[in-house]
């Protein structure tokens, strides 16, 4: 009997570790822990079913990010359907954000403008979404105006993404000195790699390569010490910094 008991305990531990390794939802872990017998049996049946599907090569129905990857328009269809059923503030905001996410900038700009004209007038997130849409449409003056309104109406609102967008808008409008000031202020408190890279690129274009190189080197030093996941998310800016340093050294 003791040997059977030890074997059962070991099997239970192995199942718990397997649940954790497979990143199952918390419900499975709770089930296996709270109901060692029935929970373990159900989980074993699930594993057997997954193995059978894999062997038979039956594709599972895509959900979440997988579904979005196969059908990029899926989220937009869902948001438009929800708005058609109920035209309310939340559904319009959700559709505006989805359009912005999927590059439908003209539509997102119109939606944000309608929100701003109504009960969300001068709301910082709505104005930020509107400014981003306008910037992507290359309406740089309009983007700056929206951000100026945001600042005037919400003086306590803080957003690194909004600050970066403001600096980029000034740069796109040719207001280089103001853009330099905004980039310098932004990079004094923000660790967003894109902000540091864009500041360095502007410095290089103005004939100040040594200052740009210092920024690139500091950014790479910080990213090498950052968690791997963060570095992977910012691979684009790491590659740009390395490429620019090599070009400046040539």
- Domain ranges across the chain: 10-43
Span 162-219, pLDDT tens digits: 999 999 999 999 999 999 999 999 999 999 999 999 999 999 999 999 999 999 999 9
State how far the Cα of 177 lies from the Cα of 185, in Å rounded to an integer: 12
Give the pair of three-digit tokens for residue 59: 């594709």
State how far the Cα of 70 lies from the Cα of 158, in Å rounded to an integer: 36
Span 149-171, pLDDT tens digits: 999 999 999 999 999 999 999 99
Span 87-114, pLDDT tens digits: 898 899 999 999 999 999 999 999 999 9
Q: What sign does the CA torsion over 178, 184, 189, 191 have?
A: positive
State how far the Cα of 30 lies from the Cα of 10, in Å rounded to an integer: 18
Q: Identify which has the larger pLDDT, 46 or 111.
A: 111
Q: Specify whether the CB–CB gap between 115 and 96 falls below 8 A.
A: yes
174: left (phi over 0), alpha (psi -120 to 50) or beta: left
């Amino acid at each position: 009997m003791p040997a059977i008991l030890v074997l059962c305990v070991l099997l239970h531990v192995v199942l718990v570790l397997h649940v954790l390794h497979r990143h199952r939802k918390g419900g499975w872990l709770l089930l296996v822990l709270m109901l060692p017998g029935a929970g373990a049996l159900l989980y074993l049946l699930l594993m057997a079913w997954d193995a059978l599907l894999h062997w038979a090569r039956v594709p599972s129905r895509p959900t979440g990010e997988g579904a979005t990857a196969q059908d990029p328009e899926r989220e937009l269809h869902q948001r438009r359907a929800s708005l058609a059923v109920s035209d309310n503030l939340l559904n319009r905001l959700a559709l505006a954000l989805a359009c912005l996410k999927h590059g439908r900038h003209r539509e997102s700009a119109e939606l944000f403008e309608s929100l701003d004209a109504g009960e969300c007038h001068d709301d910082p997130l709505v104005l930020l979404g509107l400014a981003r849409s306008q910037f992507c449409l290359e309406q740089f003056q309009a983007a700056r105006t929206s951000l100026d309104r945001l600042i005037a109406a919400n003086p306590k609102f803080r957003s690194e993404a909004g600050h970066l967008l403001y600096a980029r808008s000034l740069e796109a409008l040719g207001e280089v000195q103001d853009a330099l000031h905004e980039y310098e202020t932004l990079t004094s408190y923000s660790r967003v790699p894109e902000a540091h890279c864009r500041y360095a690129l502007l410095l290089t274009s103005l004939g100040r390569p040594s200052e740009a190189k210092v920024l690139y080197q500091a950014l790479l030093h910080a990213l090498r010490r950052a968690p791997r996941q963060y570095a992977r998310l910012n691979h684009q800016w790491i590659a740009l910094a390395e490429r620019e340093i090599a070009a400046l050294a040539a």
